[in-house]
Amino acid sequence: MIYLDHNASSPLLPVAREAWLDAADRFPGNPSSPHRAGARAEHALEDARHRLAARLGCQAADLIWTGGATEACATAIHHAALAAEPGAVAWVGAVEHPAVRENARCFFAGRVEEIPVDARGLVEVGWLRERRRRERPALVAVMAANNETGVLQPWREVRDWCAAEHIPFFCDATQVCGRMPVDGLGACDLAAGSAHKFGGPRGVGFLKVPATGEFHALLRGGKQAEGRRAGTENVAGVLAMVAALEWCEARITAGEAAPRAAWRDSFEAAATANLPGTRIVGAGVPRLWNTSSLLLPEADCRQRWVVRLDKAGFAVSTGSACASGSEEPSPVLTAMGISASEAGRAVRVSAGWNTTETEWSALRDAMERVWAASRATGGSGGPE
Ligand code: PLP
């Protein structure tokens, strides 16, 4: 099986596995315990906090550990909603992950406005300036990179604009961590990441929060993280996450992203040339080097591309649910003006650092075989 679904979850990197096993052996104590075993675990967490803070460009005290990005997003939005003036609104990007959209809907009940995106999937920064003449939001949430399309958002520009306007800014950086440099994220008021998207373990992540001032915690209980996130920390998970991030950042620094982007680009060029009507979502704007979102020909929901490719030995994902039946089309693609029937033909391919050029070529060949077989059976069949 060739695994090309890293935006859903990236397999554990050997370096993360080693760090996890090592930490599980060396730090059995609860970091809050008063004995030396506890102190050693606390010290290891503190070291990890400094290492991550150095990457993000913030203070170690600004970081709290979470159980992944969903918890980090919920914590950030919950805090912003409770810190807001009564009745204040949240502006949330139209292509945000449900971890942001659903929590905004919940905590800013009835007070969420969508920042529109253009046909390429980029948030319209001009909308912020225009809207600001009429109102002042309590939170602006714009992700760093989209999970379905890989489109990179102008989060640095939005961050700086929010800072100048003294409006709290939250960046869900889940898909960018480990793939693009993360420096500058620490300058966001709130920023979230998740280990399993870049080769760390599942169920561990981080949130950058303001170190000073009142913080409205979501998880309450023990006094961990200065009361900002209660619950015994996942020491081994945190150490494995930071090891994975450092490993990925070394690949970025070594310039290994550019050739990988070129492999993805030739795959897309072949798909658009050989599979009639194929369209690349987000073509022409900066995207993550690992992601390709394609609207493929032929919309037979019973024989989706994903199923056919799975049978051919490739794990890829739908960019959206099938347009017919009970499933709704992807809100991301809908926000980009893509029709429900087109969205039903979306396939997302997402590679990892260890994906090879040969694997991209093998996928290209498999897609051409699937297409040829489907043509031979009148467009609704395929290799069973
Ligand atoms: N935000 C984005 C952009 C994501 O892609 C995901 C996962 O798909 C999440 C948040 C949620 O992450 P987790 O699985 O760590 O809760």
Per-residue pLDDT of the chain (384 residues; tens, 9 = 90+): 999 999 999 999 999 999 999 999 999 999 999 999 999 999 999 999 999 999 999 999 999 999 999 999 999 999 999 999 999 999 999 999 999 999 999 999 999 999 999 999 999 999 999 999 999 999 999 999 999 999 999 999 999 999 999 999 999 999 999 999 999 999 999 999 999 999 999 999 999 998 889 999 999 999 999 999 999 999 999 999 999 999 999 999 999 999 999 999 999 999 999 999 999 999 999 999 999 999 999 746 566 899 999 999 999 998 655 444 446 789 999 999 999 988 988 999 999 999 999 999 999 999 999 999 888 876 543 333
Query: For residue 326, what pLDDT is reported?
Result: 47
Site to probe by mutation for ligand 1, drawn from 100, 147, 206, 350 as the one with most ligand atoms within 8 Å of Cβ, is: 147
Q: Which ligand 1 atom sits nearest the alpha carbon of residue 194? A: 15
Q: What are the two backbone dihedrals, phi and then psi, of residue 265, each rounded to the nearest 5 degrees? A: -65, -40
Q: Give the mutation target among 5, 73, 77, 97 for probing the ligand 1 site: most ligand atoms within 8 A of CB.
A: 97
Residue 323 pLDDT: 42
The contacts of residue 9 (CB under 8 Å, 6+ apart) are: 196, 197, 202
Predicted local confidence at residue 320, as pLDDT: 57
Alpha-carbon distances, residue 257 vs 31, 198, 253, 254, 279 (angstroms): 37, 14, 9, 8, 23
Catalytic residues: 322
Here the tokens at position 136 are 């002042």
Indicate which residue's Cα is closest to atom 10 of ligand 1: 69
Gap from CA of 283 to ligand 1 centroid (Å): 23
Spatial strand order in the sheet of 90-93: 63-66, 205-208, 190-194, 169-172, 139-141, 90-93, 112-115
The pLDDT assigned to 344 comes to: 86
CA angle 206, 210, 216 (to 5 degrees): 85
Give the residue, by CA position, lying nearest to ligand 1 atom 8: 8
Question: Cβ < 6 Å from ligand 1: which residues?
Answer: 68-70, 73, 97, 99, 143, 147, 172, 174-175, 194, 205
- The answer to whether residues 30 and 221 touch, using CB atoms and an 8 Å cutoff, is no
* Count of CA atoms in the C-beta half-sphere (13 A) of 299: 16
Amino acid at 349: V
Whether 44 and 241 have beta carbons less than 8 Å apart is answered as no
Q: What pLDDT was estimated at residue 380? A: 46
Q: Determine the pLDDT at residue 298.
A: 75
